[in-house]
Amino acid sequence: MSDIRCFIAVEIDDTTVIRQIQKIQRDLSSSGARLKLVKPENLHFTLHFLGNTHEQRIPELANILNDIEGKSFDVELVGVGCFRPQRPRVIWIGCTTGTDQLINHQKFLGKQLRAHGFPSEKRKYTPHLTIVRVRSGENRVQLMKLVDEHANHNFGTFKAHAIKLKKSTLTPKGPIYDDLAVQRLNDDDD
């Protein structure tokens, strides 16, 4: 038995929203900064990063996901930002509509995970969608100028239909994510 690197997330699967994100990624790339763009199939809001988890505990995590209740919800993506602008490592998109639901699901999962002996998140949860990882400080001023220009950009709205336990396999070309468990949220018309 071995460890599996995993996390719990809400994925983005709306092609219109993804195209908007890709346009901004291309724009940020024009800064000349050394960037690693998050692939469209990997775009997600992390609710809990679990890290290396013994594979025997995956069914336990799937059961925790099964306890999630609620309806599918809209998430409106608005604004580009970064943590620590003087040394940006991650560029993200924020959200307006859907923030409360993401936070509530994250809190519920945190309580359930702690009750089962999984480690807690150390930082206060702030819903954000990572779109770019910054590889160096090269052309930081140009990059931050573009981030500021898109600080209020609206990317559209997607429907969060599920919360997923994801496996993350790190490769030289970037991570590959696979579903380990999926908890569907009730659609509004059910």
Q: Which of 105, 116, 128, 150 is labelled catalytic?
A: 128
Burial of 189 (0-12, 13-18, 19+ CB in 10 A): exposed
Q: Which domains does the chain have, with CATH numbers?
A: 3-184 (3.90.1140.10)
Alpha helices in 15-98 (DSSP H): 15-29, 58-66
pLDDT at 59: 97
Distances (CA, A) of 48 to 6, 63, 106, 109, 126: 9, 15, 7, 8, 11
Encoding tokens for residue 95?
């959200």
d(CA 177, CA 156): 24
Q: What is the pLDDT of residues 86-114, one digit of tens each?
A: 889 999 999 999 999 999 999 999 999 99
Is 128 annotated as catalytic?
yes
Compute the distance between CA of residue 79 and CA of residue 94 in angstroms, rounded to an integer: 6
Cβ atoms of 94 and 77 within 8 Å: the answer is: yes
Q: Which of 44, 116, 150, 153 is catalytic?
A: 44
Answer yes or no: 150 catalytic: no
Question: Each residue of 148-173: pLDDT tens digit?
Answer: 999 999 999 999 999 999 999 999 88
Q: Model confidence at 188, in pLDDT bands (50, 70, 90)?
A: low
- Nearest alpha-carbon partner for 127 in 161, 67, 81: 81
pTM: 0.94
